[in-house]
Structure 1
Amino acid sequence: MEDRRLEAFARLLDIMDELRVKCPWDRKQTFQSLRNNTIEETYELADAIADNDMESIREELGDLLLHVVFYSKLGDEQNAFDIGDVANAICDKLIYRHPHVFADVHADTPDEVMQNWEQLKLKEKHKKKGVLGGVPRSLPAMVKAFRIGEKAASAGFDWEKKEDVWAKVKEEIGEVQQEMDRAGSASFDREKLQEEFGDLFFAMINAARLYHVDPELALEHSNKKFIRRFGYIEDRAQAEGKPLGSMTLDEMEALWQEAKKSE
């Protein structure tokens, strides 16, 4: 390894030691107080990755690395663990979970690697919660659904052919429509409609997984596309001196189509 990388990391550790002593804010922090900041930094990194902004990715990785070092410093102060323990633990885990690299197990495809990975995780002492027990409770619902699908598939619970998932999607669409058709009647149950929408979303997320599409990135792409096109409508309305609220739906649709053509 290049010495400059080790020197940079040692510099970060030294700075953290100094901040913990001399900075009132850093001295005050605990595991609990840093938690929300860590979540925010993770999302900022996710945004940078979605934008494929290498400069921002580098910056956000640094922010996240600071949190790893900070938590390790807190652990050291409590005589629980230090950054060396953290690094060695992940090294040991990587070696254990990559027997196709460090032992004599064969895995020739990424899917085989993932299946071995999940099976090995289940064997670890702290993973006695079942196949789905390791999915963090606080994950966003879409990410959680994707991970649930991955883990269930690693245990063999999946569609035999990826095309088969569309029958499930169509089934769930039908059930949503059935509940929507009851709207306004005495038998309408909004909670049941919510449940059916959830089942449809879950089926669509599994479809995305089977076709190797990240549903979070796909939806974020659509979010940005909508914002961009709606912004075009707002700009054109302002240029024409028309309040957006006074425009007809047909007028806005025409501008929407202009926005699409301009992309």
Structure 2
Amino acid sequence: MARLRDPETGCRWDIDQNFASIAPYTIEEAYEVADAIERNDMAALRDELGDLLLQVVFHSRIAEQAGHFRLQDVIEGITEKMIRRHPHIFGEGTDRENGHRRWEDIKAAERAGKDDDSSAVAGVAKALPALLRAEKIQKRAARTGFDWPDMDGVVAKVEEELQEVRDATTPDEHQEEIGDLLFSVVNLARHLKIDAEVALRAATAKFESRFRTMESMAGDDFSGLTLDSKEALWKQAKRQGAL
């Protein structure tokens, strides 16, 4: 990467990049890692981890050239953080059973020490996928005791938000109420200990598989079929076990 970014002999594209311009690639590579894991494709995972590692090296090289930090600083920083957040492993503590809770306590103390924003929901990255960010915000709030005591309240809230979608009359109201409904569904998934992002990805994959089966059954005439005919094909694809 040092050679690629060399002002005199490097690659023009690599030289022209900055943190913002390669950030989308960093996010994309992380998703491709997740996709390889979901497909249990170890050859692809090895490849995608290399692509993701390249992004870390790329950002670090840009930072070093600007005088901010080096790749070695990144590695040392995460090493120190992992040791600091695992006192039950690297320190004198022995309570392994509550290690994750202790991890969260240490993270909260770190945030309080370096940020003027003392809110329990501070520091959740705004660039996260919406479902994931909603879940993280909810978990932060729940740790303060602001949470439904059982699932009945969560289900009632989902039903309430769905009714408010029905009652909405303007585009702005519909957008707001749909957002509230999605947020409450994420909350329901959290109470059921289900990853909302994973669940939605699975549901989308299932729909895609069944839709492709429908298209295959209908041939070239799929778009011209009536809705009733398409619904019949959908039911047939479902019976055939398309995901």
Superposed pair shares fold, TM > 0.5:
yes
Q: Hey, what does 1:236 align to over in structure 2?
A: 217
Partner SS state of residue 137, structure 1: coil
Deviation of residue 33 (structure 1)?
2.4
- Cα distance in 2 for partners of 1:236, 1:128 equals 57
Gaps of 5+ in 2: none
Q: In structure 2, how many angstroms separate the alpha carbons of the residues matched to 1:122 and 1:142?
A: 23
Moved more, 206-215 or 116-125: 116-125
Which residue in the other structure is 2:90 paired with?
102
Q: Say which SS state the counterpart of residue 18 (structure 1) adopts.
A: coil
Partner of 1:123: 112
CA contact (8 A) 1:145 1:202 kept: yes
Moved more, 197-206 or 99-108: 99-108
1:17 and 2:2 correspond:
yes
Distance in 1, matches of 2:90 and 2:157, equals 40
Taking a change above 3 Å as real, the CA distance of residues 89 and 200 of structure 1, as seen in their structure-2 partners, is same
The aligned residue for residue 249 of structure 1 is: 227
Please give the alpha-carbon distance, in whole angstroms, between the structure 1 residues aligned to 2:31 and 2:226: 37
Task: Measure how far apart 1:69 and its partner are.
Answer: 0.9
Q: Distance in 2 between matches of 1:172 and 1:51?
A: 35
List alignment gaps of at least 5 residues for structure 1: 1-15, 180-187
RMSD (Å) for aligned C-alpha atoms: 2.3
What are the equivalent positions in structure 2 for 1:9-158 lying under 5 Å apart?
A: 16-21=1-6, 22-103=10-91, 104=93, 106=95, 108-109=97-98, 112-113=101-102, 115-126=104-115, 128-158=117-147
8 Å contact from structure 2 (residues 158, 184) kept in 1 = yes
1:202-241 mapped onto 2 (5 Å cutoff): 202-238=183-219
Deviation by residue 1:17-73 (Cα, 9 ceiling, x = unmatched): 333333333233222322222222222223323333322222111111101011111
In the TM superposition, what is the alpha-carbon distance from 1:261 to its structure 2 partner? Answer: 2.0
Q: Contact between 2:85 and 2:103, CA under 8 Å: does it hold in 1?
A: no
* AA matched with 1:18: R
Distance 1:30 1:222, change over 3 A: same
Q: CA deviation at 1:230?
A: 0.9
Moved more, 124-133 or 73-82: 124-133
Secondary structure class of the residue paired with 1:19: coil
What TM-score comes out, normalization by structure 1 length? 0.80
Structure 2 CA distance, aligned partners of 1:50 and 1:127?
39
**Which of residues 148, 163, 166 is equivalent to 2:155?**
166
CA contact (8 A) 1:114 1:154 kept: no
Could you say if the C-alpha distance between residues 136 and 153 of structure 1 is closer, same or farther in structure 2, counting changes exceeding 3 Å? same
Name the aligned partner's letter for residue 159 of structure 1: W
- 1:237–1:45 Cα change, 3 Å: same
Residue 237 of structure 1: how far off its partner (Å): 1.0
CA deviation vs aligned residue, 1:83-103 (integer Å, no higher than 9, x gap)? 111111112222222233333
Determine what percentage of the aligned residue pairs are the same residue: 41
| Alpha-carbon distance change, 232 to 110 in structure 1, aligned in 2, over 3 angstroms | farther
Q: Distance in 1 between matches of 2:113 and 2:180?
A: 32
CA shift, 1:82, in A, is: 0.8
